[in-house]
Amino acid sequence: MTQPGLPPLQHIQSLPSWLVGRVAAKGRGLVAEALAEEGLKLMQHAVLAATAEYGPVAQAELGRRLEVDPKDMVMLLNHLQGMGLVTRSPDPSDRRKNAVTVTAEGLEVLARCAVLAERANEELLGVLGEEEKAQLMRLLGRVYGPGAAG
């Protein structure tokens, strides 16, 4: 894998963990830039997607599923609700909780974000051919482990 005797920095930069981290950072940056066209940040997009997938869903449950602190979830949902992408209302099964639901506008934004994210990932992997992209996805799935997407 790495060559013995490399200078220390070159050794670090030759490690798979370093390279995967750098590629991930580049990919996150490209996707973040793309989502900004819709006025969203990465975590806001994730909350919107989770709401669409699991909603109506308790606000606390969204936080648990996405591993987001409750105070941060409130700020994320305030932003999404302010944009008209989600609504919060008392949960019919427990009126002490808020149920979060994606709006029709939220679904439209989510669809546009999917296209933007795909474009960003195409840019990220643009140096690879189609077979190489498929191989990379298979290998990343294996490294990530059982149950990995793809």
- In the sheet that holds 57-58, the strands lie side by side as 57-58, 94-102, 86-91
Q: Which domains does the chain have, with CATH numbers?
A: 30-140 (1.10.10.10)
pTM: 0.85
- Smallest CA-to-CA distance from 139 within 150, 130, 128, 129 is with 150
C-alpha–C-alpha distance, residues 37 and 39, integer Å: 6
Query: What does the pLDDT read at residue 48?
Result: 98
Q: pLDDT digit of tens for each residue in the chain (150 aa)?
A: 556 688 999 999 999 999 999 999 999 999 999 999 999 999 999 999 999 999 899 999 999 999 999 999 999 999 999 999 999 998 877 778 889 999 999 999 999 999 999 999 999 999 999 999 999 999 999 999 876 554
Phi, psi of 2 (to 5 degrees): -95, 155
Query: What does the pLDDT read at residue 65?
Result: 95
Query: What does the pLDDT read at residue 150?
Result: 47
Query: What does the pLDDT read at residue 94?
Result: 78
Query: What does the pLDDT read at residue 112?
Result: 98
